[in-house]
Amino acid sequence: MKINIYYGGRGLIEDPTLYVIGKLTEVLEELRVDVRRYNLYEEKNVIATLPATLKDADGVILAVSLEWFGIGGYMQQFLDMCWLYGNKEKIKSIYMLPVVMATTYGERDAELTLIKCWETLGGIPMNGLAAYVENHTDFEMSSVYRGIIEKKAEDLYRAINQTMPILPNSNVAVKKNISRTKTIDLTPQESEQLSRFVSDDAYVKKQKQDIEELSAMFKTMLGDTSPEPEEKEGEFIREFRTNFYPEADFRAKYIIIIPDRESTLSIDVTPDSVKCWYSDDTEADVVMKAETKVLKAIISGKNTFQRAFMAGEITAKGNFKTLRTLDQIFRFRY
């Protein structure tokens, strides 16, 4: 028997959820169950691939820490990926035990959310462990609470071992008769492969670039030579274009957020050309934030990107080697 634990908390030492899943693990391992735990905060970059780990599981424990409201972003994202890429036929036979430890109000609502989500996926939910924990030390020292947790682990083991049936519920009926979501007809293997592509940022970025290149090529073939909307002239765009000095084999995308104008300037650099436009982009090799007066000082040649960054007039995140290259490919003269 194999049971997977998916922990949606933040991994804090005082989190009572960690104590509960630790006790559950102890009891299940004593019963010779193969227990595997996935900390979603550590797996956040590959959450789209985690539904593949359900393929050989007999049961799962969905454990969340309620610190404010709801089941938390990591668990919600994991369940979203199960809906999009999970093998629904396999999930139908998987028992799920919800665990919700709250330091604020709402543990019952969160438990019900996990149960409803698992029912909608087609799985078999069980009554879980939901508690409000005011003092985690008192909670962990209580022999009564420990006994309840250990009993719940045994109940999960028996349910899976005996393939315990459950009564039908309206969630499944509504899902079958009304909620007909349009989905792509994929095999479980294709779903797993697609989920890996979704979690690969480099692959997604390359696909976007290929789509842009194909779009430009077809527009040229159709004789559409008018400038694209994002290439229309605007403040700072002309200056960046006319003062561009390309470098061989250098490609990068920059984003400059201008807070006082509530606008975002995107700059796409290739070895042959530069494209500048205003957009709502958030993904780039370097993302900067600079006020209008700082940018005006740079394009007038009175300052440089490097000096402005060192002086704290510009904040940036991303590849700092790429940031330093800005003053080489854009040479503004005083």
**Residue indicated by tokens 């969160």:** 110
Residues 125 and 66 in one domain: yes
* SS3 category, 308: helix
Residue 227 counted as domain residue? no
**Residue 220, pLDDT score:** 63
Q: What is the pTM of this model?
A: 0.57
Residues 278 and 170 in one domain: no
Q: What's the structural domain count of the chain?
A: 2
Which one, of 260, 333, 262, 252, lies nearest residue 298 by Cα? 333
Whether 117 and 57 map to the same domain: the answer is yes
Per-residue pLDDT tens over the stretch 58-75: 999 999 999 888 899 999
Domain for residue 63, yes or no?
yes
Instruction: Give me the pLDDT at residue 192, please.
Output: 56
The residue to which tokens 């299940």 are assigned: 28
For position 260, which CATH number holds? 3.30.1050.10
- For residue 15, being part of any structural domain is answered with yes
167 and 251 belong to one structural domain: no
Residues 105 and 167 placed together within one structural domain of the fold = yes
Between CA 118 and CA 248 the distance in angstroms is 53
pLDDT along the chain (334 residues), means of 10: 95 92 96 95 89 94 92 93 90 96 93 94 94 92 95 95 83 55 52 57 63 67 49 71 89 92 91 89 88 91 87 84 88 81
Q: What pLDDT is attached to residue 262? A: 86
Domain assignment present for 322: yes
